[in-house]
């Protein structure tokens, strides 16, 4: 068996790609589930710096018993004017599993950020990104793109090559995940940290505030979950067992 | 300033040691224990990373008066109504006297341990700040806090150079600890006023902590007692760690 780590062998996944793939997959699944549990404690999304049960929500999600509850005492105004902000006390026990969910989320975040950063550097310096993720010029003509989209919509997926010879739509999907969705998840995550935004307040300005960052973080999760679903369907359609073996052991089909 | 460096370096060493399952004798007693729990090891790693990588004592963003928003009161909203607590009756009695008889003991590594009344605390030069409260649940609110910086009160009590951690006890049955970096942070406040009025019972009367670089649950309400120590105190069953929450909440 030849060494699959030699960069010029483009017919199989290199070892560092395979290891990064599964570490990121495991940490992403952990983040996705723990993130949902965290959101269930306060299933309301807002825009700007501030949002809470006493201010209007952008979106309310029916994902826990905290959804649209009204267990609050009578509102009291802080100031004398009619538009004054108010305070009110919560009078019921909310669903809240954030003790373990938050700690698990940040533990998994380390497993995403550290291997993710190494993957990023390797992708740049080995030429992996340039050779396999950036579309070639001849792929970018309207007729070819149209044909690709048409085939995918009819779920006519060709058998996997067991290596990084990706189709155009594959390149676009992986590119969006690697260069946009994951970096955005990390940055919006950091923008929710009181210690980190004290040191780097531009994170708040970048996303328009703490609550905006939280809302973007949520929609990024939605995007990544949709990617995951499509990714798994495509793997099944292109030969599940063979693809899993290729990504795990670096085997050629 | 010298203390801070030692705290940070030791935080790093012990944080890493906790993650790798090692224990360095002499260091571990000063830092949050992980009890061999994977989640607590992650918390310790985050704490070590923050103390190592972030510039110390950056100021949290401050807002203007017009940015003040509605502010929910959650968690304990009246310790006097919690009959299961030993402190409940004492709190009710203090509240009925408008907290005139309330005293805050400052104990441990201070040259002048003593009991501070609200009037004593209000005699120190006050500080007002309008900051964002970030709750672990996911909501946020902006409020104006008036009080005395914790460092100013500890200076008045003559805090000793061997101090490493400060532990707070509250009337609603909690104990929590801050390291010196956060204790001496210029925005760490003992607040007696909120939005221009005396702090209400639902928001922690008569005195609460404000720590602006960590999540809301670290800003303990209903302060009862402060102890300055030279080692980490997890607060036992009154603390966050043993109740399943991260001790460090700067995330």
Tokens of B175: 């104990």
Query: Residue B125 carries which DSSP code?
Result: P
Helix (H) / strand (E) element for A223: namely: helix A210-237
CB < 8 Å to A193, chain B: 250-251
- Closest CB from B39, B134, B246 relative to A194: B134
Of the pLDDT bands very low, low, confident and very high (cuts 50, 70, 90), residue A3 is very low
Residues A227, A232, A238, CA angle at the centre, nearest 5°?
120
Q: What are phi and psi of B105, to 5 degrees?
A: -75, 135
Predicted confidence at residue A158, as pLDDT, reads 85
Give me the CATH number covering residue A157: 1.20.950.20
Q: Where in chain B is the domain with CATH 3.90.420.10?
A: 61-238
Interface of B with A in 2-61 (CB under 8 A): 38-43, 45-46, 50, 54-55, 58-61
Q: Which residue has the tokens 């704490």?
A: B47
Q: Å from B156 to nearest chain A CA?
A: 27
Q: Assess if residue A91 is contained within a domain.
A: no
Of A136-140, A200-204, A227-231, least confident by mean pLDDT is A136-140
B10 or A32, higher pLDDT:
A32
CA distance A217 to A237: 30
Q: Does B134 touch chain A (CB under 8 A)?
A: yes
Q: Assess if residue A90 is contained within a domain.
A: no
ipTM: 0.92
Partnered with residue B193 across adjacent β-strands are: B146, B198
CA distance A98 to B245: 8
B7 or A84, higher pLDDT:
A84
* Residue whose C-alpha is closest to residue B54's, from B4, B117, B106, B102: B4
Predicted confidence at residue A131, as pLDDT, reads 94
Q: What are phi and psi of A196, to 5 degrees?
A: -75, -35
Average pLDDT, integer, range B47-53:
95
Average pLDDT, integer, range A198-225:
98
Cβ–Cβ of B46/A39 closer than 8 Å?
no
By C-alpha distance, the chain A residue nearest B215 is: A194
Q: Which structural domain range is residue A137 located in?
A: 15-52+96-249
From residue B53, how far is each of A202, B49, B131 by CA, in Å? 17, 6, 24
Predicted confidence at residue A8, as pLDDT, reads 52
By C-alpha distance, the chain A residue nearest B194 is: A78
**Around Cβ A32, how many Cβ atoms within 10 Å?**
15
pLDDT at B140 over 50: yes
pLDDT at A251 over 60: yes
Of the pLDDT bands very low, low, confident and very high (cuts 50, 70, 90), residue B17 is very low
Q: Assess if residue A62 is contained within a domain.
A: no
Of the pLDDT bands very low, low, confident and very high (cuts 50, 70, 90), residue B13 is very low
- Number of domains, chain A: 1
B56 or B100, higher pLDDT:
B100
Query: In the predicted model, what is the mean pLDDT of chain B?
Result: 90
Average pLDDT, integer, range A33-55:
98
Q: Give per-residue pLDDT as tens, B232-241.
A: 999 999 999 9
Q: Assess if residue A164 is contained within a domain.
A: yes
CB < 8 Å to A89, chain B: 72-74, 77, 202
pLDDT at B1 over 50: no
Cβ–Cβ of B251/A193 closer than 8 Å?
yes
Size (chain A), residues: 253
Q: Assess if residue A3 is contained within a domain.
A: no
pLDDT at A65 over 70: yes
Q: Give per-residue pLDDT as tens, A153-189.
A: 998 888 888 899 999 999 999 999 999 999 999 999 9
Average pLDDT, integer, range A50-60:
98
Predicted confidence at residue A10, as pLDDT, reads 78
Q: Give per-residue pLDDT as tens, B172-195.
A: 999 999 999 999 999 999 999 999
CB < 8 Å to A42, chain B: 135, 137-139
Cβ–Cβ of B251/A106 closer than 8 Å?
yes
Q: Give per-residue pLDDT as tens, B87-116.
A: 999 999 999 999 999 999 999 999 999 999
* Residue whose C-alpha is closest to residue B221's, from B176, B178, B157: B176
Average pLDDT, integer, range A81-105:
97
Domain B61-238: CATH superfamily is Oxidoreductase, molybdopterin-binding domain (3.90.420.10)
Q: Assess if residue A8 is contained within a domain.
A: no
pLDDT at B5 over 50: no
Q: Give per-residue pLDDT as tens, B22-48.
A: 444 444 445 788 998 999 999 999 999
- Closest CB from A94, A98, A195 relative to B213: A195
Interface of A with B in 68-97 (CB under 8 A): 72-73, 75, 78-79, 85-90, 94, 96
Name, in order, each residue with C-beta under 8 angstroms of B85's C-beta and a sequence gap of 6 or more: B79, B171, B172, B173
Average pLDDT, integer, range B116-126:
98
Q: Assess if residue A10 is contained within a domain.
A: no
* Residue whose C-alpha is closest to residue A189's, from A216, A163, A167: A216
Q: How far is CA B119 from the centre of its chain?
A: 21
């Amino acid at each position: 068996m030849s060494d699959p780590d030699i960069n010029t062998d483009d017919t199989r996944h290199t070892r560092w790609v395979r290891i990064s793939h599964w570490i990121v997959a495991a940490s992403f699944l952990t983040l996705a589930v723990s993130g949902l549990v965290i959101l269930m404690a306060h299933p309301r999304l807002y825009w700007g710096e501030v949002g809470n049960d006493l201010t209007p929500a952008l979106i309310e999600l029916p994902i826990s018993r905290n959804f649209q509850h009204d267990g609050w005492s009578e509102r009291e105004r802080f100031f004398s004017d009619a538009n004054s902000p108010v305070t009110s006390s919560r009078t019921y026990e909310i669903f809240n599993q954030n003790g373990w969910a938050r700690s698990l989320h940040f533990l998994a975040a380390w497993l995403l950020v550290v291997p993710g950063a190494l993957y990023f550097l390797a992708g740049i310096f080995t030429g992996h990104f340039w050779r396999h993720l950036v579309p070639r010029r001849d792929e970018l003509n309207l007729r070819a793109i149209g044909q690709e989209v048409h085939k995918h919509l009819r779920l006519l997926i060709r058998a996997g090559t067991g290596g990084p010879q990706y189709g155009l739509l594959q390149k676009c999907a992986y590119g969006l995940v690697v260069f946009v969705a994951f970096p955005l998840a990390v940055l919006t995550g950091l923008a929710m940290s009181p210690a980190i935004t004290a040191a780097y307040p531009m994170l708040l300005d970048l996303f328009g505030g703490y609550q905006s960052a939280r809302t973007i973080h949520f929609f990024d999760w939605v995007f990544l979950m949709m990617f995951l679903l499509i990714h798994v369907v495509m793997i099944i359609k292109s030969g599940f067992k063979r693809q899993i073996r290729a990504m795990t052991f670096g085997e050629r089909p | 300033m010298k203390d801070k460096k030692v705290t940070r370096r030791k935080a790093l060493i012990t944080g890493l040691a906790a993650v790798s399952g090692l224990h360095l004798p002499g260091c571990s007693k000063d830092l949050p224990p992980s009890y061999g729990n994977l989640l607590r090891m992650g918390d310790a790693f985050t704490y070590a990373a923050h103390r190592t990588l972030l510039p110390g004592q950056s100021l949290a963003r401050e807002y203007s008066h017009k940015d003040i928003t509605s502010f929910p009161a959650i968690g304990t909203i009246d310790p006097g109504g919690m009959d299961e607590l030993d402190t409940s009756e004492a709190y009710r009695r203090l509240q009925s006297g408008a907290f005139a008889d309330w005293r805050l003991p400052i104990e441990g590594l201070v040259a002048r341990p003593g009991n501070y009344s609200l009037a004593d605390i209000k005699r120190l030069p006050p500080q007002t700040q309008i900051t964002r409260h970030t709750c672990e649940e996911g909501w946020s609110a902006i409020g104006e806090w008036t009080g005395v910086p914790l460092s100013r009160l500890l200076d008045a009590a003559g805090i000793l150079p061997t101090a490493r951690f400060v532990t707070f006890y509250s009337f609603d049955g909690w104990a929590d600890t801050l390291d010196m970096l956060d204790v001496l942070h210029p925005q760490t406040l003992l607040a007696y006023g909120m939005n221009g009025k005396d702090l209400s019972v639902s928001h922690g009367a008569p005195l609460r902590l404000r720590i602006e670089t960590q999540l809301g649950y670290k800003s303990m309400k209903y302060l009862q007692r402060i102890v300055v120590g030279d080692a980490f105190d997890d607060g036992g069953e009154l603390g966050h760690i043993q109740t399943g929450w991260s001790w460090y909440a700067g995330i």
